[in-house]
Amino acid sequence: MEINQIIELAEELATQHRGKGGGGDPKVAFSDYEVPVAEADFGDAFEGLLRFKEDEYQVFINTGSESDPRTIGRQNFTAGHEFGHYSIPKHRTAIRKGDGAHKDVTGFASSEPMEREADIFAAHFLMPTEELQRKYRLPSWGAKEILDAAKHFGTSITCAALRCQASLPGDSSLILWGPQHVRWQRMNRDWWFELPARSIRNTDQLAKGSATEQLMSGAEIPDCGYIARGTTRAAWFTRILPWSNNNTILIEEAIPLGAYGTLTVLRPDQV
């Protein structure tokens, strides 16, 4: 299947297995198909697992431990990812004809085609485009809307951020940080060609006092759930000269993701 076909399938199934927030509910879907789902602490073995055993498909979702729990949004995204494997015909066939089990590390962290496709499916199943655009009509979105969307649709913050970037208007850059380096960066197509450049890649390149630097240095997180500061293009994109006309003001917002890192949201200043 092409990516657009996977998206179409995911959003169609979301209308059939709708959750309270308007998106799809993977647990409702698995129940409708009479697929058993087991939720428990599976340690570091996997985030989710879909297997075919004793003539039936079975799903396992990692809830984490008391000391290192997975959020409900993270668990729902993992369940949506497994529902993607179950729903995409070639995935389902491969699992049935293969070794009978497919362990996953979900959350847009894999380079494997099947994993990327299941992540895309989950994102559109949980947050269908029409429902997302109906809820957030203004072009000025950011960390506040991302956190609200994650709660409303019952998904992970990373998923909500990527869906906002893909389906809501305006330029944006999303940067996921590990302890020392950038794990990945996503930019909308128009902004990529306007710059064009990747962002800084290492934490030692972060401007002192920036929202991301403060958050990664252990600053207290405000009640809103993120730190926001003004910044400039030159502070993030090395091809932009500080004195050039292209060095415009940006809004920088840093969202903590716990064990999954830090998410930076960059958007043009709307003022």
Give the tens place of pLDDT for each residue, 179-192: 999 999 998 867 76
Task: Check whether 202 has a pLDDT greater than 60.
Answer: yes
pTM of the model: 0.92
> Average pLDDT of 13-39?
95
> Average pLDDT of 165-189?
91
- How far is the C-alpha of 214 from the C-alpha of 231, rounded, in Å? 13
Tokens at 244, concatenated: 């050039």
pLDDT for the residue numbered 195: 62
pLDDT for the residue numbered 271: 47
